[in-house]
Amino acid sequence: MIFLHLLTVQNGGIKRSSLEVLSRGRELVDSISQSNEQSAGNQAELHAVVCSPEVASWDEAKWAAELGAYGVDTVWSATDEAFKEHNNQALLSAMQSAHAQATDQGAKPSVVAMASTEGVKDILGALSMRLGASVVADVSEFGVVAEGDGVLLTATRPVMASKANTHVRAQAQHLMVSVRSGSYGILENGVLENGENQNGENENGENQNAKPLNHQPVRIVPLKTEHADSKLQTQIREIITAAADTIDLNEAEAIVAAGRGVKDEAAKALIAELAGVLNAGIGASRALTEAGMYDPSVQIGQTGKVVSPQLYIAVGISGAIQHVAGITNSKVIVAVNKDADAPIFEVADYGIVGDLYEVLPALIAEIKRVKG
């Protein structure tokens, strides 16, 4: 069985959401391999399809080392100028080609697991048709076991603005799943990012149970994609992204979000200062994006971005369900609001009842003091 993961390289780096899916893939591949050893079945493998625009500077050794740390067995490498921007036809072609070559080499059945990004949403339907695979989209948890000559996938899928969860089962020879960011921790060399391993925690902050990956060298296979400009049916005219100096909210470790309580430039400056000391991204409720105080691209919630930072600080945000729908995957939620009955406190891990004009300067000063 193979686990195939699509990894697009932008600005020379791998996105956090991709590493989360790879880490979950490694865990599942290990547990499938273990049960196969007992039943003398085929081994499972973790593959990554790397689509990179670094045609001239592609560094095989760098990628082998980097992806080896995340437990990847085989890298299908597609380097092409077309990957400079999101290009659905080039991505589809690379994925289809990697899948065909991997399955030709006997790696059946297959699970294609990808981060549920905008780019992946764009290709999911078309890719499932091309691979003849069943799809379970936008899950927050998933597991896979070999069953018969196919795979059984079980998953949890938040629905109705994350108010309810559906439990999904799918069985097929080829399956695809897309995973919400923030659903899994990153496992590097067998160790979770907070110092724990899959098996559990350690009271002393040390990791006594950690078993570093005893990993084979990564196999790198150049991918022949059938990509030629003349074949492209669409052309990207312009991609509008957040300004280069702002932190991408989909990938941010910390986010400071402003709501209608942030009424003027002085309050906006406090939000920016707090975000600065925490190296956090800045988000906003719809009340403020509609009022033109923040760019619509930073709106968080049901009709904005669904985020999953380690730390989410909601300032002057009441906690309407449409906003909360975008933040429930955050690890720790802190709310600052002058109304002790604001619904945001029902989802917050820590709440500060007070006027933001007084609370934020004190918070900023304390963070600066602690950071030295």
Under the rule (CB under 6 A), what is the footprint of ligand FAD? 259-261, 285-287, 299-304, 316-318, 320, 322-323, 326, 336-339, 342, 355-357
The helix or strand, by DSSP H or E, that contains position 102, with its residue range, turns out to be helix 88-104
User: Which residues face 262 on adjacent strands?
Assistant: none
Residue 360 CB coordination number (10 Å): 24
Cβ contact 181:16 at 8 Å: yes
Minimum CB distance to ligand FAD smaller for 59 or for 346: 346
User: What is the smallest separation between the CB atom of 337 and ligand FAD, expressed in angstroms?
Assistant: 4
| C-alpha–C-alpha distance, residues 104 and 169, integer Å | 27
CB of 351 to ligand FAD, least distance (A): 11
- C-beta closer to ligand FAD: residue 48 or 360: 360
CB-wise, 19 or 306, nearer to ligand FAD? 306
Name the residue number minimizing CB distance to ligand FAD.
301
Give CA–CA dist 266/262, Å, rounded: 9
Rounded to whole angstroms, what are the CA distances from 345 to 46, 102, 220, 319?
41, 49, 49, 8
Smallest gap, in angstroms, from Cβ of residue 366 to ligand FAD? 18
What is the closest distance, in whole angstroms, from the C-beta atom of residue 311 to ligand FAD in the complex?
Answer: 18
Q: Tell me how far, at minimum, the Cβ of 194 lies from ligand FAD, in Å.
A: 30
Q: How far is the CB of 365 from ligand FAD (least distance, A)?
A: 17
Residue 176 CB coordination number (10 Å): 26
Q: Which is nearer to ligand FAD, 129 or 272 (CB)?
A: 272
Provide the minimum distance between the beta carbon of 285 and ligand FAD in the complex, in angstroms, as a whole number.
3
Output the DSSP codes for 300-359: BSTTSB----SEEEEES----HHHHTTTTT-SEEEEEES-TT-THHHH-SEEEES-HHHH
Nearer to ligand FAD, 152 or 321 (CB): 321
- CA dist 360 and 336 (Å) reads 9
- Which of residues 51 and 325 has its CB atom nearest to ligand FAD in the complex? 325
* For ligand FAD, the closer CB: 97 or 117: 117
DSSP state at residue 14: -
Torsion of CA 117, 126, 101, 186, to 10 degrees: 10
